[in-house]
Amino acid sequence: MNTIISDSTGFSGKVSLKKILLICGILASLLYITATILGAMRWDGYSSTYQTVSELIAINAPSAPLVVPLFLVYSILMFAFGLGVWRSSDHKRVLRIGACFIVAKEVLGLAATLFTPMHMRGQETTLTDTMHALLTGVGVFLCMFPAIGLAATAFGKQFRLYSIGTMLIFIVFGIVSFLAAPQLAANQPTPLLGVWERVNIFGYLLWIVVLAITLLKKEKREDSIKSATPG
């Protein structure tokens, strides 16, 4: 499926559905970051330094009415991006499986956002808090890591090293964040927890952007080859 763009000179270009879907990954990443910034602004007293992103969508959080709908749109855009990765895979199995893991992660993330949000600090925890942590953990370790690892094998050395670096950074800051979890549950101070968590989240979103750009460049090269081929 292509959208044809023409001008008075007779030039025509094609904006393929694949390219639109891939751009959705870039838009989703920007929207997520924007949502966290707007949510922090909406909640007087919220600190992005020591509070987590999940607290922005917590039950009764002042920021939840704004952030939850934005995260829903983010998830929809990421679903579209996953489809774009699948369609751009050129039948590479690792990339198609990676696309499935990207979508699966967002399915779990959306479920955690809509159905199992955590409680605000100082409130009694319930099953939703446990399920929120469980869905988040499964999404990261059983979906995000495999997606990055599989996609890394589909391209050249530079992207592979970048992907490995992203995973290593996530592991390091993930451990630091995990060590602060007991303090969060006990409503105790968690200095820099928000920073460590955002390093991980934004690092993954940056990886999504780089993957999208890599695939868009591949599509552009293929279009150039096709346009230069007689007939």
Cβ atoms of residues 55 and 74 within 8 Å: no
Domain membership of residue 47 (yes or no) is yes
Q: Which residue has the tokens 């607290």?
A: 55
Separation of alpha carbons 79 and 145, rounded Å: 17
Least confident of 106-110, 184-188, 222-226: 222-226
pLDDT at residue 13 tops 60? no
pLDDT at residue 229 tops 70? no
Split at pLDDT 50, 70, 90, the class of 230 is low
Split at pLDDT 50, 70, 90, the class of 39 is very high
Nearest Cα residue to 102 out of 129, 75, 122? 75
Domain membership of residue 229 (yes or no) is no
Domain membership of residue 221 (yes or no) is no
Structural domain count of the chain: 1
pLDDT at residue 8 tops 90? no
Q: What is the pLDDT of residues 154-173, one digit of tens each?
A: 998 999 999 999 999 999 99
Cα torsion through 40, 29, 101, 56, rounded to 10: 10
Cβ atoms of residues 23 and 212 within 8 Å: yes
Domain membership of residue 162 (yes or no) is yes
Range(s) of the domain holding residue 82:
18-216
Nearest Cα residue to 64 out of 87, 93, 42? 42
Domain membership of residue 2 (yes or no) is no
Domain membership of residue 227 (yes or no) is no
Split at pLDDT 50, 70, 90, the class of 102 is very high
33 or 12, which is more confident? Answer: 33
Domain membership of residue 11 (yes or no) is no
Segment 80-96 mean pLDDT? 94
Segment 70-95 mean pLDDT? 96
pLDDT of residue 10: 35
Q: How far is CA 12 from CA 3, 5, 36, 116, in A?
A: 10, 5, 40, 49
| Positive or negative: CA dihedral 106, 90, 88, 206 | positive
pLDDT of residue 2: 46
Domain membership of residue 132 (yes or no) is yes
